Amino acid sequence: MELDYDRLVALRKQSSAWRLLTAGNAALMLSFFNKVFVEQGARSIAGAELVERLDDELFALNERLGRSTFPQSAKAYLDVWSAPENGWLRKYYPPDSDEPHFDATAAVEKAISWIRSLEERSFVGTESRLNTIFDLLRQMTFGAETDPDARLAELTRRRHEIDQEIERVEAGEVDVLDSAGLRDRYQQMTATAYGLLADFREVEANFRDLDRDLRSKIAAWDGAKAGLLDEVLGSRESIAESDQGRTFQAFYDFLLAPSRQDELKTLLAEVETMEAIGEPDPRMRRMPRDWLEAAERTQGTVRQLSDQLRRFLDDQVRSEDRRVLQLVHGIESRALDLRDVPGVDLIAELDATAPAIVLPMERPLYTPVVKALIDSTGIQAGDEQFAADVLFEAAYVDPARLTAAVHRALGTRTQVSLAETLREHPLEQGLAELVAYFALPDDGFTTVFDDHRQEEITWIGGDDVRQVATVPVVTFARTSPGVAWATSQKKEGR
């Protein structure tokens, strides 16, 4: 992008991040947003909780700087920050909730990232970034190469380098990164992780804008549904097939792989024990979970598009049915008006309804309702062959038992798939129990559905017949309350 004068003037008017940096209370907003939405990783906070946090922050600052420093109430500040013309906080109402919730926008992430870049760093690493540049260049040139001989030559070169390194290790020559190299790579890794989490807000905002545009078009649309569907599905497809959409989907599929999750957790734990790193970044320990939650929120926004399209189609079908009936009635009325007009030949004639004649004596006489006599005396218990009431035979699936089974399957892991849980705790009540796993209400873990992949769940039915159900891949990801639950169960010896 060319940064000429006119472009910068227009960007200053359009960019919410620029307006945030030049606002009068920029220091208050940036510090508060960084503490709540960046350091603590919150993606959505209820309005009452956010007002309470901001009120505590304002009280502490006014006590230290003077009571007139921030004279307005916490709610008044939040109303200004979430105003559409500012665009720093997103205020919305979640489904089935009448309390507003708040979330930081992508502009807040950009402003905080730029502020962090202004701080002086005691250590500035450059080697790892240079190595990353070379690695990316090799990946691009090798990935775009179509000549098989050139690819074989590159693979042979890599194998030769690996063979040489193996020979050096066998000879006792082990190249170890020094403390500077370790700090350099750790610094780049944390910066990339923070940047990746910040990108999710922008991706989610793009899909949310598409959903908002779709609702606006549906509200104002008065033509055929085919035209709107072509336009909307074209926009949806353009985002999904864009570079941003494809890379997000690839990242989401990569993140859901249990093997990658375990590898990432192991590598982070090993890196944090290195003395050269010093004090590790505490947020890196929960970064994989933050990635997963942010990706799931983005996928949820995409699912809203499908729900909105389905409701639009249903409404259009009902509207078109009513329109067809109106046209039919109009044709009938017009035909009746023209039936007796001289010189008018009707193309089609409507048969008159034949009169239905019923003689009075053909109607049946009134028959009083016979009241059944109920004798409640002498009630005796039925024998063993007496069939039980169907209400007592109804299957009841205990969600508490299934929740405990998921927690036991999770153990010390961060996530576990439904298939792994069922291998440890097989289905006892068949399909009803399988469906209950999809809607377990528990704060200790999050249920993530991958609609792009499917798996088969098998169990033995009541007639000793093997039953098979094809369902989306389901993953249970642990949250902070789940860690507390596992710890308490371990202390109790369960």
Residues 114 and 220 placed together within one structural domain of the fold: no
363 domain residue, yes or no? no
Residues 298 and 188 placed together within one structural domain of the fold: yes
364 domain residue, yes or no? no
- Mean pLDDT taken over the chain: 75
Q: Among candidates 157, 175, 156, which has minimal Cα distance to 165?
A: 175
Given pLDDT bands bounded at 50, 70 and 90, which one contains residue 455? confident
Q: Among candidates 6, 101, 111, 96, which has minimal Cα distance to 51?
A: 101
The pLDDT of residue 236 is above 60: no
Residues 91 and 211 placed together within one structural domain of the fold: no
192 domain residue, yes or no? yes
HSE-CB of 486 using CA atoms within 13 angstroms: 19
Cα distance from N-terminal residue to C-terminal residue, the chain:
60
Confidence at residue 334, expressed as pLDDT on a 0 to 100 scale: 75
DSSP per-residue string spanning 290-354: HHHHHHHHHHHHHHHHHHHHHHHHHHHHHHHHHHHHHHHHHHHHHHHHHTTSTT---SS-PPPPP
Mind listing the pLDDT tens digit for each residue in 284-303? 777 777 777 777 776 666 66
Q: What is the mean pLDDT of residues 344-353?
A: 53
Residues 103 and 188 placed together within one structural domain of the fold: no
Q: How far is CA 129 from CA 134, 139, 192, in A?
A: 9, 15, 11
Q: Among candidates 197, 187, 185, 204, which has minimal Cα distance to 255?
A: 197
36 domain residue, yes or no? yes
Q: How far is CA 69 from CA 24, 72, 206, in A?
A: 12, 9, 37
The CATH number of whichever domain residue 75 belongs to comes to 1.10.10
Residues 106 and 230 placed together within one structural domain of the fold: no
Confidence at residue 260, expressed as pLDDT on a 0 to 100 scale: 74
Mind listing the pLDDT tens digit for each residue in 79-93? 889 888 888 888 888
Q: Which of 299, 319, 339 is the last residue of a domain?
A: 319
Alpha carbons 262 and 265: distance in angstroms, whole number: 5
Residues 100 and 186 placed together within one structural domain of the fold: no
Q: pLDDT: is 23 or 285 the higher one? A: 23
Confidence at residue 490, expressed as pLDDT on a 0 to 100 scale: 46
277 domain residue, yes or no? yes
The pLDDT of residue 486 is above 50: no
Residues 195 and 83 placed together within one structural domain of the fold: no
HSE-CB of 6 using CA atoms within 13 angstroms: 0
Alpha carbons 312 and 219: distance in angstroms, whole number: 10
The pLDDT of residue 17 is above 80: yes
Q: How far is CA 101 from CA 29, 79, 203, 338, 411, in A?
A: 17, 12, 19, 62, 32
173 domain residue, yes or no? no
Q: What is the mean pLDDT of residues 183-200?
A: 75
The pLDDT of residue 215 is above 80: no
Confidence at residue 54, expressed as pLDDT on a 0 to 100 scale: 92
Q: pLDDT: is 94 or 388 the higher one? A: 94
State the sign of the Cα–Cα–Cα–Cα dihedral 292, 298, 302, 308.
Answer: positive
Residues 112 and 189 placed together within one structural domain of the fold: no
Given pLDDT bands bounded at 50, 70 and 90, which one contains residue 449? confident
Domain that holds residue 48: 5-118
Q: pLDDT: is 470 or 480 the higher one? A: 470
Q: Which of 291, 319, 347 is the last residue of a domain?
A: 319
- In the chain, how many domains are there? 3
Residues 85 and 205 placed together within one structural domain of the fold: no
Tell me which of 45-54, 290-299, 349-358, 459-468 is least confident: 349-358
Residues 217 and 314 placed together within one structural domain of the fold: yes
Given pLDDT bands bounded at 50, 70 and 90, which one contains residue 135? confident
The pLDDT of residue 347 is above 60: no
166 domain residue, yes or no? no
Most confidently modeled of 67-76, 211-220, 258-267, 386-395? 67-76
335 domain residue, yes or no? no
**Do 47 and 93 form a contact (C-beta atoms < 8 A)?**
no
Percent of the chain with pLDDT over 70: 70
Residues 184 and 309 placed together within one structural domain of the fold: yes
The answer for 74, left when phi > 0, alpha when psi is -120 to 50, beta otherwise, is alpha
The pLDDT of residue 389 is above 60: no
Q: pLDDT: is 262 or 103 the higher one? A: 103
**Do 471 and 422 form a contact (C-beta atoms < 8 A)?**
no
The pLDDT of residue 122 is above 70: no
Q: Which of 319, 343, 361 is the last residue of a domain?
A: 319
Residues 220 and 303 placed together within one structural domain of the fold: yes
The pLDDT of residue 125 is above 60: no
Q: pLDDT: is 464 or 437 the higher one? A: 437
